[in-house]
Amino acid sequence: MSQINFGGVVENVVTREEFPLEKAREVLKKETIAILGYGVQGPGQSLNLRDNGFNVIVGQRKGTQSWDKAIEDGWVEGKTLFEIEEAAKRGTIVQYLLSDAGQIAMWPRILPHLTAGKALYFSHGFGITFNEQTHILPPKDVDVILVAPKGSGTSLRRLFVAGKGLNSSYAIYQDATGKAFDRCIALGIGVGSGYLFETDFKREVYSDLTGERGTLMGCIQGVFQAQYDVLRQNGHSPSEAFNETIEELTQSLMPLVAEKGMDWMYANCSTTAQRGALDWRHKFYAATLPVFEELYKSVASGEEARRTIETCSKLDYRAKLNTELAELRNSEMWQAGAAARALRPENNE
């Protein structure tokens, strides 16, 4: 483990150099890793582990698209692909990668298979942190660990195939065997993490829920829409409004910000853009700070978890969700976006 200085704060980080794949294989050589769930994280993590030479099986309910996908990906029924409970029974490490709502529904049927010495692995702190609502209470004699890749399971797989890695956080909630740390890091390396940084279950879920409701998804859509609407109300065309709001950001600025940072971007744009951005960032900070404070409170009080569990477990949830998603998809801004994407040179060669 290394101590890395992140802008003045020293944190524990584990890199692939410190914990090489060979060590991970040694730590897990006697384990059967059961990946429960073949949605988004399930395929990414299980295929990376399999390609890295670990002993992996998949648990997925049969007769579903996810089951068919698992077969297409080379998992073999009765050998490496089982119904969820059967896989939980066979695994010594149980990676609980059902959706958060699915984890709650399946818990009473998984619990009997979590016998002494096994490890229960999560990629999200949700089920454990909000256990008053989820009722996910693991037995005291199993390890409870977390590796949360900071990105989609699809990216985890793509980056792995490209020889790169996605950073993950890791946490130990319960060390029953004395091996929890090694098991956790070995799995983190095995699933294709770049480096692993330390967290705990609560901080993982609080930051994750804040992030996706905030700058990653919720906030950014709200901000995009506000700017787009103001431009449109003032007579700008959809094409102009979309390009100034989103296309330039995603195509030109963000790749540079990813590579060099926003500080570099500020230092390397026109003086006109620079002056305006330096001045206006304070106003946007002040305007959004109270919303982020409200959001964090809602996460920490368990309200976001309550709302998620309640709405996602309703029978008509999927139909209502589809209506909301169609509204977004059919909005003028994202229809303009579809047209702008189709006009990109790479789509017209």
3-state secondary structure of 117: coil
* Count of C-beta atoms within a 10 Å radius of residue 331: 14
- Please name the residues in contact with 68: beta carbons below 8 A apart, sequence gap of 6 or more: none
Quick one: residue 151, left, alpha or beta (phi over 0 = left, psi -120 to 50 = alpha)? Answer: left
| Contact pattern from residue 273 through residue 292 relative to ligand NAP, giving x for each residue in contact according to CB under 6 A and a dash for the rest | --------------------
**How near is the Cβ of 100 to ligand NAP at its closest, in Å?**
5
Residue 3 has φ and ψ, to the nearest 5°, of -105, 115
Judged by CB under 6 A, the chain residues 50 through 89 that form the site for ligand NAP are 60-61, 64, 66, 84
Would you tell me how many other CB atoms lie within 10 Å of the CB of residue 120? 27
In angstroms, rounded to a whole number, what is the distance separating the alpha carbons of residues 281 and 277?
6
Binding mask 94-113 for ligand NAP (x = CB under 6 A): ---xxxxxx--xx-------
How far apart, in whole angstroms, are the C-alpha atoms of residue 134 and residue 156?
Answer: 27
Cβ atoms 96, 122 nearer than 8 A: yes
* 124 is known as an active-site residue: yes
Which listed residue (113, 124, 135, 282) is catalytic?
124
Q: How many residues bind ligand NAP (CB under 6 A)?
A: 25
In the chain, what is the straight-line distance between the N-terminal and C-terminal CA atoms, in Å? Answer: 48
167 belongs to the binding site for ligand NAP (CB under 6 A): no
Residue nearest to ligand NAP (CB): 39
Torsion of CA 25, 29, 34, 38, to 10 degrees: 30
Q: Which is nearer to ligand NAP, 57 or 84 (CB)?
A: 84
Distance (Å, whole) CA 310 – CA 101 = 9
Q: Counting contacts by CB under 6 A, is residue 311 touching ligand NAP?
A: no
Question: What would the two tokens of residue 40 be?
Answer: 């988004």
| Span near ligand NAP by CB under 6 A; candidates 17-25, 92-100, 183-191, 298-306 | 92-100
Piece in contact with ligand NAP (CB under 6 A), picked from 32-40, 214-222, 254-262, 276-284: 32-40
Give every strand in the sheet of 143-149, ordered side by side. Answer: 2-6, 9-14, 193-198, 166-174, 143-149, 119-122, 93-96, 33-36, 56-59, 81-82
Q: Does 147 contact ligand NAP by CB under 6 A?
A: no
Q: State in angstroms the smallest separation of the CB of 149 from ligand NAP.
A: 5
Sequence letter at residue 204: E
With CB under 6 A as the contact rule, the residue among 153, 188, 192, 214 that binds ligand NAP is: 153
CB of 137 to ligand NAP, least distance (A): 17
CB of 264 to ligand NAP, least distance (A): 28
Residue with structure tokens 């295929």? 47
> Residue 101 or residue 223: which is nearer to ligand NAP going by CB?
101
Q: Lay out the site mask for ligand NAP across 115-134 (x = CB under 6 A, - = otherwise).
A: --------xx----------
**Contacts (CB under 6 A) with ligand NAP, residues 171-230:** none
Min separation Cβ 244 and ligand NAP, Å: 30
Residues that bind ligand NAP (CB under 6 A): 37-42, 60-61, 64, 66, 84, 97-102, 105-106, 123-124, 148-149, 152-153
Q: Which residues are catalytic?
A: 124
